[in-house]
Amino acid sequence: KQEVTQIPAALSVPEGENLVLNCSFTDSAIYNLQWFRQDPGKGLTSLLLIQSSQREQTSGRLNASLDKSSGRSTLYIAASQPGDSATYLCAAHMIKAAGNKLTFGGGTRVLVKP
Amino acid sequence: GAGVSQSPRYKVAKRGQDVALRCDPISGHVSLFWYQQALGQGPEFLTYFQNEAQLDKSGLPSDRFFAERPEGSVSTLKIQRTQQEDSAVYLCASSLFRGGTVSYEQYFGPGTRLTVT
Q: Does A32 touch chain B (CB under 8 A)?
A: yes
Burial A62-88 (b: 16+ CB within 10 A, else e): bebbbebeebebbbebeebeeebbbbb
Percent of chain A with pLDDT over 90: 75
Burial A15-33 (b: 16+ CB within 10 A, else e): eeeebebebbbeeeebbbb
Asked if the Cβ–Cβ distance from A99 to B55 is below 8 Å, we say yes
> What number is the average pLDDT over the span A80-105?
87
Structure confidence at residue A51 (pLDDT)? 87
Chain A residue with minimal CA distance to B33?
Answer: A101
Asked if the Cβ–Cβ distance from A102 to B103 is below 8 Å, we say no
Query: B61 in helix, strand or coil?
Result: coil
Beta-strand runs (E) in A1-114? 4-7, 10-14, 19-25, 30-38, 44-51, 56-59, 62-67, 72-77, 86-94, 102-104, 108-113
Asked if the Cβ–Cβ distance from B44 to A31 is below 8 Å, we say no
Chain B residue with minimal CA distance to A30?
Answer: B103
DSSP state of A82: G
> What number is the average pLDDT over the span A24-50?
90
Radius of gyration of chain B (CA): 14
Cis peptide bond prior to B25, omega within 30° of 0:
no
Give the angle B30-B11-B75 at the CA atoms, nearest 5°: 15
Radius of gyration of chain A (CA): 14
User: Which residues from A are below 8 Å from B56, CB to CB?
Assistant: 97-99, 101
Give the angle A82-A40-B27 at the CA atoms, nearest 5°: 110
Of A6, A43, A98, the CB nearest to B48: A98
Say yes or no to pLDDT of B102 above 60. Answer: no
Structure confidence at residue B98 (pLDDT)? 60
Question: How far B32 CA lies from chain A's nearest CA (Å)?
Answer: 9
Structure confidence at residue A103 (pLDDT)? 93
Structure confidence at residue B90 (pLDDT)? 98
CB pairs under 8 A between A and B: 75
Structure confidence at residue B47 (pLDDT)? 95
Q: For residue A2, name the pLDDT band (cuts at 50, 70, 90).
A: confident
> What number is the average pLDDT over the span B46-61?
92
Q: Which amino acid is at B8?
A: P
Say yes or no to pLDDT of B101 above 60. Answer: no
Say yes or no to pLDDT of B97 above 90. Answer: no
Q: Does A55 touch chain B (CB under 8 A)?
A: no
Residues 36-55 of chain B whose Cβ lies under 8 A from any Cβ of chain A: 40-45, 48, 50, 55
Say yes or no to pLDDT of B1 above 60. Answer: no
> What number is the average pLDDT over the span A52-68?
94
| Count of Cβ atoms closer than 10 Å to residue B9 Cβ | 13
Q: Does A34 touch chain B (CB under 8 A)?
A: yes
> What number is the average pLDDT over the span A67-76?
94
| CA separation for the pair B49, B36 (Å, rounded) | 16
